[in-house]
Structure 1
Amino acid sequence: MLEKQEVQEWYGRNARVIHSDSDCLIERYECQGKGLIVTYKAFEGMEMVFMEFNSEDAFIPVTPYSEILEITCCCRGRVVCEFANNRCIHLSEDHFWIGSGEHLPSSYYFPFGYFNAITLVIDKKKMSLSTKKIMDNFSIDIKPIEEKLSLNNAWYISKIPSKLQRLFDEIYEAKGKQSSCYFAIKTLELLFYLQNIERNDAEEEQYYPKDQIEAVKEIWNYMITHLDEKYSLKQLVKEKNMGTTMFQTIFNHIYGDSPYAFLKKYKMGIAKKLILDGEMKIGEIAFSLGYSNASKFSIAFKDVYGILPKDYRKLRS
């Protein structure tokens, strides 16, 4: 199991060990919100890691050297990954990536404010002879996987095939319920499966410069902090020296929706909570979210939730 020194080596000084036993290590990652990292040792040099973040802060791992291979499945939420060359790419639900060496992200940003993932971390420098022997017994060789997927040149990202999805689901459900022996078996299953994937199965990588990502995030922040105001989105984009098409493309890349569709859903999520609180009238909620009248607000709420606000309040009262 990882010792305190190794925890800081991997996750920096923001990581705090809160539980450790023969099966797993649980760390809290200090951030604005909640960050939890649960690690099971499958074999010497192989860790099954569960990441659970409810935060908009960046997660910045400290990868100590280049001989690392990571296989990550996004189980819930969305993550924007920044690389050392200041290019960014995203990973959404039902997708997985494989990366190694310099093609591992230098930081992670969670645009939805939450992110759950499973990562198999393979530390090739720390793989023992017994680990390698087990791999040999199951005819598993990591090097051909790296070569076939061209991991020296880029990382691999793809929608998760149904068979692999079932395996990730089983792993995700087992956290806190199974021992490290279980995760050792699942590690072998995962690596055995990965030997059959091809580079041409990968999705086309869409990278964007960090400064453009930051500009879109600043506009997003303005949008969610001025919900009751009327403003020109086109003007905000122009002030960032961006074209409208590029802004919309990157916004969708980060948040998985068009700016207007995202904003409507965001507002209705707030409205849902306010309706359940019962302290504000429907018209007051509509006005607080920038709607000129309750009728337009009610139509938007029904578009998102399939029920009128007044009926939703009655249903939940």
Structure 2
Amino acid sequence: MMEDKVFLGQNVSVICKDNDCTVFQMKDETGEGLMTTYKVFPGVYLMYNDYHMKSCISEFKPHCNMFSINHCNEGRMEWDVGDGAYLYLREGDLKIDNCNHHTGNYSFPLTHYHGISILLCLEEATKSLNSVLYGFPVDLIELQKKYCDNKKSYVIRGEKSIAHIFSELYAVPSKIKKYYFKIKVLELLLYLSALELQDEELERPYFYKTQVEKVKAMEKLITSDLETHYTLDQLSARFDISLTSMKTCFKGVYGTSIYAYLRTYRMNRAAVLLRQSKDNIAYIAGCVGYDSPSKFAYAFKSIMGKSPLEYRKSIV
């Protein structure tokens, strides 16, 4: 069982279990996360990760030589990689590491994260893969060295072939999961083994703590009072960060520009007000920073797909 291979932490509990699947729950004051885990081969586990929380503390400790492959399908995850630097996994990215640095603080800047992790206990996995597929040409130890030789995480950004492999894993009929997982894991390992790494792929876009703290404080400021508008120059001066660094770091943390992020935030807040109150649309427009109801209606429809009135009428 996977629980024998790793220590997941005091904040993780088993909420259901059968012969094929174990569901773990991580819970704290910011929300909860579910990890639905399947044993694919002896020593090989596939885990669906669904988190709805702002942050969590991981106490993960491997009890064997492990290798992990993590795919982000939706949302965003922040890793503290040490030395005052942070790394972000965004939609479509693949992160590969040796599991030695999974202990620590994790944040979800968009308050949600959905993806898949494949965990391999290398010694046991090597034996099992060779037994199920004689002559399987992937050396897992060499694969680990290829991507994790410097002991840090390796991130592949938005590779189309990887997207194809994982896209099919997010919609697998229950009756074929057991066998389909085996095929897809073998396919992924073969692909990673054959992938030629280019020099530019070796660059890891880290953001430093001082910058990250400033853009997080900036995000808190601009979302705490939606009726106040700030220019980029005002934000740059207020938080003592250059315009270029501010734009780059904000997009690195939150996945989009400051104005695009704030626009979506305003519309999501407006949607809550439309659902939970009977206030008129002009009043709600003002609450989220729009003086013009017509401009608000246009922005709302561009984000939510319906006009404010249509959205309100659609609520059952």
Point out the more displaced range, 201-210 or 303-312.
303-312
Q: Measured at CA, do residues 65 and 241 of structure 1 come closer, stay the same or move farther in structure 2, by a change above 3 Å? A: farther
Identity, in percent, stands at: 30
Change (3 A) 1:160 1:232: closer
> CA 1:12–1:239 in 2, change beyond 3 Å: closer, same or farther?
farther
Partner of 2:25: 28
Letter in 2 for 1:33: G
State the shift of 1:179 in Å. Answer: 4.9
The amino acid across from 2:251 in the alignment is N
Match of 2:76 among 72, 75, 78: 78
| Partner in structure 1 of residue 289 of structure 2 | 290
Aligned to 2:211: 212
The 2-side partners of 1:175 and 1:210 are apart by 43
The two structures, once aligned, show a CA RMSD in angstroms of 3.0
CA contact (8 A) 1:158 1:203 kept: no
Structure 1 stretch 303-312 or stretch 224-233: which is displaced more?
303-312
In structure 2, relative to structure 1, the CA distance for the partners of 1:185 and 1:239 (3 Å cut) is same
Gaps of 5+ in 2: none
Matched, 1:109 2:98: no
* Stretch of structure 1 that moved more, 194-203 or 26-35: 194-203
Q: 1:21 to 1:313 in 2, by over 3 A?
A: closer
1:100 to 1:86, Cα distance in 2 relative to 1, 3 A? farther
Q: Point out the more displaced range, 277-286 or 258-267.
A: 277-286
Normalised by the size of structure 2, how large is the TM-score?
Answer: 0.85
> Match of 2:97, as an amino acid?
G
Q: Structure 1: how far apart are the matches of 2:138 and 2:126?
A: 15
Deviates further, 138-147 or 121-130: 121-130
Q: Which moved more, 1:265-274 or 1:19-28?
A: 265-274
My pick for the range that moved more, 192-201 or 263-272, is 192-201
Q: Is the 8 A contact 2:64 2:121 kept in 1?
A: no
1:269-308 to structure 2, matched below 5 A, reads 269-277=268-276, 279-305=278-304, 308=307
TM-aligned CA deviation for residue 259 of structure 1 = 0.8
Note the alpha carbon deviations across 1:148-182, whole angstroms, 9 max, x for none: 44543543322444443232122222385545444
Change (3 A) 1:203 1:21: same
Indicate conservation of the 8 Å contact 1:33/1:55, yes or no.
yes
What whole-Å deviation, never above 9, does each CA across 1:43-99 have from its counterpart, x for those lacking one? 222211111001112352423368321111111111122213331111111221212
Please state how far the C-alpha of 1:17 moved relative to its aligned partner. Answer: 0.5
Instruction: Say whether residues 1:189 and 2:187 are aligned partners.
Output: yes
Aligned length, in residue pairs:
314
1:252 matched residue in structure 2:
251
C-alpha separation in 2, matches of 1:314 and 1:240: 42
